[in-house]
Amino acid sequence: MIHSLIDHTLLMPTATEKQITTLCNEAIEHSFFSVCVNPTYIATCAALLKNSGVKVCTVIGFPLGANTTAVKVFETENAVENGADEIDMVINIGHALDGKWSEIEKEIAAIKTACQGRLLKVIFETCLLADEQIAKLCEISKQAGADFVKTSTGFSTGGATEEHIRLMRTCVGNEMGVKASGGVRTQVIAQTMIDAGASRIGTSAGVSIVNGTEAKSGY
């Protein structure tokens, strides 16, 4: 079922505590896999979702990926302390464009250590990269110990595409998860991504997707 693959997402800077509470209640009602929120709301979500079975996911280095590794590591450690179950980190996209693969791999590995056993997803921002760069990032993410590769932040020039999901699944095989995020706003698109190889869907339109209704604009 699609609902069990959804990371119910609210990452807008205008998000209020009331909206976060609604997000958590919706996640419980529809049995979504997790909620995905900015770090300031981790503890709130952990309390609201206690014993519900819904995980708390957060984002690191979001949305630009341009923080130093030390900052991202601290942010991850703090997220774990506050109750995060899953970490979605943004790579240094400039490093990818420059081919600084060793630096990116070291950063992913450092953040994986900081996760202290929590699941780590690596956000590429595929809309800014060539297929060869996406394939290389899949390779080094696997080598660095990440659990998932993820298409997008939802805050750049494009989101998930069927073609990129197929490419990422081919590159990581069955050993890692693939998360489609950015622009997945209908049941048809969500199912297309799953059929292409996505094992998780990041979207703010989770309720609309499971209900088969039209979603408003958003992540």
Q: Is 72 a residue of the active site?
A: no
CA 161 – CA 158 distance, rounded (Å): 9
Q: Is 85 a catalytic residue?
A: no
DSSP state of 95: H
Could you give the CA distance from residue 156 to residue 92 in angstroms, rounded to a whole number? 14
Structure tokens at 216: 């408003």
Q: Which of 55, 72, 136, 150 is catalytic?
A: 150
Q: Which of 88, 121, 136, 147 is catalytic?
A: 88
| Tokens linked to 145 | 């110990």
**Tokens coding 210:** 């499971």
User: In sequence order, what are the residues at sequence separation of 6 or more whose Cβ sits closer than 8 angstroms to the Cβ of residue 187?
Assistant: 2, 209, 210, 212
Could you give the residue ranges of the DSSP H alpha helices within 90-143? Answer: 93-98, 101-114, 131-143
Give me Rg for the CA atoms of the chain.
16
Alpha carbon 49 to chain centroid distance?
19
Give CA–CA dist 97/75, Å, rounded.
24
Residues taking part in catalysis: 88, 150, 179
